[in-house]
A and B are shown apart, each in its own frame.
Chain A
């Protein structure tokens, strides 16, 4: 014991030559330095600055007249019926779109694992293709094809015309399943065949095998897809960013923040709005990660943080 304590003391007085482990850590830190610096400069500091701004009445045109107003912006937010409505609209939007995206992508991925399917690769690319079409194009393609749908299907069948954006939402949602679909497909393909064989010998039918083997085995992929979709629903983008349409956003909260920012130029209030969205988003994320321990299968025990 004494020797250990002594040597610790000694090393405090006279720094020893770095051990191999320390050296490894130093080189490693050097490699990840770009991201760490970027994180501090472009994420951490701006987020903190946004919180600071949310406590002021900062306006872009008159920055010198800024005053500290405490929590007034947050009080205003609580009383703002538009903000509340938009936040609920955002939440309703992802409660609607996330399950839809997930289920369609999952079913498609399962269909694509079948050996019966011809031209698999080409069809996959076709399904993925819709996810890289820029928002600009998607929006107008949808508007344009609505006219044709009306003339070709609705008018001949005497159906009422489609109410504009009601259909746009599920349409846009389905056109962005590409990444989730590919991720779940490659996860399904890599499930070891022996497990299915063993289950078949035990008399499990195709449906049972899918629910009891495929779903648990690909749960990390499902989890990752959920993360992508959740971020997408809040106006972010994980794998593919199709940009956005001027003056129009799929996420109501996002467009409200942009409006406050650019039309009203009330950056203090806009920051407060953004901070509330950020908190809701982070809470949902933490809940999702916390729940992951219960339903996501991790092959190695201590790899929970590795997705």
Chain B
């Protein structure tokens, strides 16, 4: 919604109040957007908190929200847990020495020489004392089971090979669609758009049969994940084509007069002017490979050492299935795409033409 800055051109006296009003409006507007962002992203901090929290904290319903550990007191070589004990003189922070159901023995950490104190009541109802102490143990536990560097390496290899394949073929096809008069081009383009929307289920069974032992025997290899990209990707072709089309033809014609062939024109005229869209398309493909789980579960389920990161982490999470490990996994998988996105925000989805009116 656009705000009209030029409303009410009042007399000079009101100019100051107008500016004040303008300032308040801006502040309120930004505050509103900030609040939206906070609400929108609110689950993310909990993920970080959870992944740094020790496991037993989740079992204690009285534990604080932030990652913490129990306060311990060393008495006669043993670590005793400190509880908040209600007594006649208010709440005391005592260490539990000998627990039993009806009454327990406590030690006063400030005065251990006094010996055990008897307290009547069920110790299980007491609140433990906690101090803020984030731990990396969850990450250590998870990394000990899941070979993250291997999965990372696998993902990068598959991403790189398929990236080169998909970029080369998609750029070529988009160039063909945007610069050449081909009879029936309109129908080819319509077919391209239709392919974007075909649900993956419909082709799943026959392609699985094609890759299975009955025909190509590619199960347990990366080939089913890589090979289709040599034929280009319909969405990426669509995006590239929209942008190639917006480049004026004058330059190609000039290059053509200089004797440049079609491939030469593509490389030295079209591509240099399409860097943002090529980067966008490359990143979209990278995110796709990074998040890929569908094909991995079909074709790499039997080959644990070849799995890609998203699928492998998901599988390893299910061995633990505790809140903190689930969040560690979630954090490990999402951190790379997020970093890549922030590094590339200058280019990603910027100045991209999806529809006709954008210039």
Contact = CB atoms under 8 A, between A and B. Distances in A.
Contacts of A27: 176, 180, 262
A89 to B, nearest CB: 16
A35 B181 contact: no
Interface string A170-202: 010010000100110011001100001000100
A241 B65 CA distance: 33
6 contacts: A25-B183, A121-B345, A134-B310, A220-B356, A240-B284, A274-B204
Given A134-B310, A246-B318, 7 more contacts: A24-B180, A35-B170, A35-B232, A190-B357, A190-B359, A238-B196, A285-B194
Contacts of A240: 284, 287-288, 291
A261 B341 contact: no
A102 to B, nearest CB: 15
B327 interface: yes
A27 B266 CA distance: 13
B228 A38 contact: yes
A297 B176 CA distance: 26
A183 B358 CA distance: 10
B338 A143 contact: no
Interface stretch (A6-14, A74-82, A110-118): A110-118
A147 interface: yes
Given A132-B337, A209-B2, A246 B293 contact: yes
Interface string A187-223: 1001100001000100000110110000001101101
Interface string A243-274: 11110000000100110010000010011001
Contacts of A257: 201
Contacts of A34: 169, 172-173, 230-232
B203 to A, nearest CB: 4
B291 A141 contact: no
A32 B195 contact: no
B199 A234 contact: yes
Contacts of B186: 305
Contacts of A162: none
A271 B203 CA distance: 9
Contacts, number: 326
A134 B357 contact: no
Interface string A289-301: 0000000011110
B37 interface: yes
Given A31-B180, A278-B199, A307 B355 contact: yes
Contacts of B189: 305-306
Contacts of A128: 341, 348-349
Nearest to B342: A125
B30 A116 contact: yes
A307 B205 contact: no
Contact of A130 (B41, B182, B288, B330): B41
Given A38-B231, A145-B47, A243-B293, A114 B199 contact: no
B326 interface: yes
Contacts of A258: 201
Contact of B356 (A125, A267, A281, A303): A303
Contacts of B49: 148
Given A27-B262, A116-B26, A231-B196, A187 B358 contact: yes
B331 interface: yes
A208 to B, nearest CB: 11
B330 A277 contact: no
Contacts of A143: 323, 326
Interface centre among A29, A31, A135, A141, by most chain B C-beta atoms within 10 angstroms, is: A31
A144 interface: yes
A303 B288 CA distance: 30
A227 interface: yes
B2 A113 contact: yes
A243 B330 contact: no
B243 interface: no
Given A136-B313, A196-B2, A274 B337 contact: no
A93 interface: no
Contacts of B293: 134-136, 243-246
A45 interface: yes
A129 B338 contact: yes
A53 interface: yes
B215 to A, nearest CB: 11
Given A42-B207, A206-B3, A236-B198, A221 B355 contact: yes
Interface in B313-343: 313-315, 317-318, 323, 326-327, 329-331, 333-334, 337-338, 341-342
A47 interface: yes
B25 A116 contact: yes
Contacts of B170: 35
A122 B4 CA distance: 25
A135 B169 CA distance: 28
Contacts of B179: 28
B248 interface: no
Given A50-B202, A141-B47, A306-B356, A126 B197 contact: no
A140 B202 contact: no
Nearest to B346: A121
Given A235-B201, A298-B356, A305-B190, A134 B334 contact: yes
